[in-house]
Amino acid sequence: MLIGYRNERLKRVCNSEEHARKHLPDEVHVRTLFRRLKEISAFDSFYEIPSDKPFRRHKLKGKRKGEWGITIRGGWRICIVPAGEYEMDDSRHPLLSTVRSIIVTDIIDYHGG
């Protein structure tokens, strides 16, 4: 799967351990972040990202409606949205099996932990 980024700063953080260690708190566990991104890139579609441990792909609500969370460690998540061309289901939600690229929108602990 192709991975894009919401902005250049996030792209640098997600592609350079040096930037990640500088800009993210220690509890994010940079090695796990990089492993998770590598694993996500190996999937053919969004649907293949597991909803059980360790990924725990799940839809977000509230201010983050339309995004999905992927577990890094503890309360820290990679927030993503579908990108590129893909089909929609009857409820106008992305048909995840047709999503072949994503945008990383944030690396955050939205639980406030």
Q: Is residue 59 within 8 Å of residue 66, measured between CB atoms? A: no
Assign 111 to helix, strand or coil.
coil
Long-range contacts of 46-50 (CB under 8 A, 24+ apart): 46/1, 46/82, 46/94, 46/96, 46/97, 46/99, 46/100, 46/102, 47/96, 47/97, 47/99, 48/1
Tell me the pLDDT of the chain averaged across its residues: 95
**What's residue 110's pLDDT?**
80
- Residue for token pair 């995840």: 96
Q: 31-55, pLDDT tens digit by residue?
A: 999 999 999 999 999 999 999 999 9
Q: Please choose, from the candidates 66, 68, 50, the residue with its C-alpha nearest in 3D space to the C-alpha of residue 58.
A: 68
33: CATH: 3.30.2310.20
Tokens representing 9?
């700063």
**What's residue 34's pLDDT?**
97
Q: What are phi and psi of 34, to 5 degrees?
A: -65, -40
Domain housing 42: 2-109
| Total domain count, the chain | 1
Residue 113 has pLDDT above 60, yes or no: no
pLDDT category of residue 26 using cuts at 50, 70 and 90: confident
